Structure 1
């Protein structure tokens, strides 16, 4: 679909016959690489002592899920500045970057309108909150009721566990929406986020938990995640060429509330309980 759009754009736009503009520069407001989280946000998303990084110990090497902050070309920046609706969708920006428009001083009377499709244009966050015990992934257990001295237990992942996040409701262009939500949440929290993370069997941590005599000890492992909530704006996007003018026109704009769970990659939250009776 996107390849066909690019071909269609090239055929229509080459009718005007002028030099191509495709140079790329540093991104402007709305498309630049995000700044580090502010001090207040760092405190809100500070990792508690019960949560440990297992990147080095994880027997399953998770790929880094850093989404690129796409830099718009000069032409794309000019086009985005003409839109009355903010456009932040990386895939739409990539499509515009791959577009070449030629102009000529003799283009008077020339007019073309190219329909680029309906797109999720931007995402506005209303709430970003961590759940450090999003999903239980492991239980280590020892019965020390017959013991005469404390027994030391530490975390060992019994089975490989895949933790998946996702959107909380069905929505059009879900993949594009997920990308924008993850970019926003990663910027706000400064945490390594991914919609899927795996903890490999045999992953260990040396932190010791003591089980006193006459007690059963349970060490629970949880995968933490970020709950992201906000609003997505959709619209039908048109590229309009009128003489020497080039502009983006967005029609039939709609908004929809959406939420998502996004796991924190390579982190485990621990909870230790000692009990006289089985749990």
Structure 2
């Protein structure tokens, strides 16, 4: 009897050894991710000029590199059924240390990490080149005998602020995720606050004909970002030697924001017979 059982088990092992590679290849095909769609940047019109060098107020460079998760954090993120992109949550997980022990059989613990905005999904990123009027240069050439040229000179310092269009929980975390996504999609230098210093100039000339008044308007452009933020209660589960993230009470909420384009000015020039 033992002889027949041995032959039977050897036969099963041989059978599975032939079937396993085929199964593995199928799993590999399923695991291959679909190619990511190409990001399209926003085309800046000719009426919008960059003033990074000319700006008398040096705005700090808004550099928001993607926070790299540690090996443990990456495993925890992968264990979650809900996508986790919040940089502050990733930073907290990076600072977490959990030591495993081979004698942890039967050990179980659930740690509540709080309610977090987990990810932001962008639906639309569109520019408004005349988001806020910041300056007017004017000259009256109605009594002149020849065209007169004017150029942009910022008369007073202007602070241009953006922000969320509605109140949402964890505002600062949501703004960070929206800013990262908007910068990635637009290819533009964005910040929720930008300053144009007094005396900032641009050499580009605009001609005012005879018997006309000339108006050169300056506008701060901005991007309107719209999408959806997902919230959830985050738990760290330790079960034996296993560690995983569990997210409960998941909710989603629509959100929008205005984000100024840093160190850019949009110009509009008008020549008129009468004062505007």
TM category, shorter: 0.7 to 0.9
3-state SS in 2 of match to 1:94: helix
Which structure would you say has the larger Rg? 2
- Report the counterpart of residue 176 of structure 2 in structure 1: 179
For 2:261 and 2:45, locate their aligned partners in 1 and report how far apart those are by CA, in whole Å.
13
1:202-217 equivalence runs, <5 A: 202-217=199-214
In structure 2, relative to structure 1, the CA distance for the partners of 1:137 and 1:36 (3 Å cut) is farther
Q: Give distance in 1, aligned partners of 2:223 and 2:184.
A: 12
TM-score, normalised on structure 2?
0.86
* 1:252 equivalenced with 2:249 (yes/no): yes
Q: Does 1:110 align with 2:107?
A: yes
Contact 1:37–1:187 (CA under 8 A) maintained in structure 2: no
Report whether the alignment pairs 1:61 with 2:58.
yes
1:73 counterpart (70, 83, 97): 70
Q: Check if 1:271 corresponds to 2:268.
A: yes
Query: 2:134 corresponds to which residue?
Result: 137
Partner of 1:6: none
CA 1:62–1:188: 2 relative to 1, 3 Å: same
Aligned counterpart, 1:232 = 229
- RMSD over equivalenced CA pairs, Å: 1.2
- 1:151 aligned to 2:148? yes
Instruction: Name structure 2 gaps, 5 residues minimum.
Output: 1-35
Relative to 1, partners in 2 of residues 1:55 and 1:94: Cα closer, same or farther, differing over 3 Å? same
Q: Is the partner of 1:181 in helix, strand or coil?
A: helix
Take 2:257 and 2:58, find their aligned partners in 1: how far apart are those partners? 24
Instruction: Give how far 1:36 is off.
Output: 11
TM-score under structure 1 normalisation? Answer: 0.85
| Alpha-carbon separation, structure 2, partners of 1:271 and 1:66 | 30
Match of 2:116 in 1: 119
1:223 is the counterpart of 2:220? yes
Deviation at 1:37, TM superposition (A): 6.2
